[in-house]
Amino acid sequence: AQKVTQAQTEISVVEKEDVTLDCVYETRDTTYYLFWYKQPPSGELVFLIRRNSFDEQNEISGRYSWNFQKSTSSFNFTITASQVVDSAVYFCALSEANTNAGKSTFGDGTTLTVKP
Amino acid sequence: GAVVSQHPSRVICKSGTSVKIECRSLDFQATTMFWYRQFPKKSLMLMATSNEGSKATYEQGVEKDKFLINHASLTLSTLTVTSAHPEDSSFYICSARAGSTNEKLFFGSGTQLSVL
C-alpha cells in the first residue's frame, strides 16, 4: 500500500525566509511518480512538479527547489526567499507507474503562512 | 496552459435536494476526469474516476447511487449529489488529465457544498 506523510501540518515564516516542506513516502513499487501541488485560498490545486523514481536529480525552478532522495524515501520542497503569495496549502502525492495520476495518494498537506 | 472550469464554486441547499456540479476542460479533451472530496485541513480523497462514454469507477466506500457521475462528452463531467444531507457538506474538486497516464493533473477550483 502507498502512503505519503507530510509531518508538518502548519508552518509560519516571515517573508524572505527560506522554508522546506517535508514529504516522506512509502511504496512497494520500483517505478513510481511523485508530485507537488499548491492549493491557494482560491481552492484550485496547481501542479508544481512531477518526478519519476528513476530520476534523482534535484531540480530548481526559480525560488522553488526539490530534493529527491530514494535512500530516505523523501521528496522535500524548498522555497527560497519566501513571499506572501507563497501562502497556501502544499500537497505531496505519489502514484504508481501505470496507475492514473488521478489515483495518486495525497499527503495531508502542509499549510504555509508567509507573513510580511 | 490547460484549464479546468468547475461550477458552481459555492452552493447551499436544503436537505433532501439534489445538487449538480460541472467540471469542464476548456482547451483540451479529457477522456478521464476525477472527482475528489476534501474535508477542512485534510487531504483529497478520490471518490471516483469519470470515463467518457462509460460508467464511472467508484472508490471503495463511495455510494454510486448517492454520487452520480456523468461524462457525456470529452470536455464535461458532472457530479450530482442526490438527496443531499448535512453530512455531504464538503469541498468537492474535479481534475482532468491532458496527456498520458502519469502526466500532470489540472484541477478545477472546487465547489463548497453546504447542506442545511
Coil vs helix vs strand at A84:
helix
pLDDT tens, residue by residue, A58-99: 888 899 999 999 999 999 999 999 999 999 999 999 987 766
pLDDT tens, residue by residue, A1-60: 789 999 999 999 999 999 999 999 999 888 898 999 999 988 888 889 988 898 888 888
What are the distances in angstroms from CA A49 to CA A77, A91, A93? 10, 11, 10
What are the distances in angstroms from CA B71 to CA A24, A40, B21, B32, B53? 35, 28, 12, 9, 6
pLDDT tens, residue by residue, B20-75: 999 999 988 888 899 999 988 788 899 999 888 888 999 999 999 999 999 888 89
Please report where in the chains the cell 521528496 appears, as a residue: A75
What's the rounded Cα separation, in Å, for the pair B28 and B35?
Answer: 18
Coil vs helix vs strand at A9:
coil
| Chain A contact set for B42 (CB, 8 A) | 108-109
Picking from A49, A100, A113 by the largest number of B CB atoms within 10 A of its own CB, the best residue to mutate is A100
Chain A contacts in chain B segment 1-20 (CB below 8 A)? 9
pLDDT at B98: 67
| Chain A contact set for B9 (CB, 8 A) | 43
Of residues A9, A52, A106, nearest to B44 (C-beta): A106
Instruction: Determine the average pLDDT of the residues in B7-26.
Output: 95
> Would you state the cell numbers that stand for residue B13, as one nine-digit string?
441547499
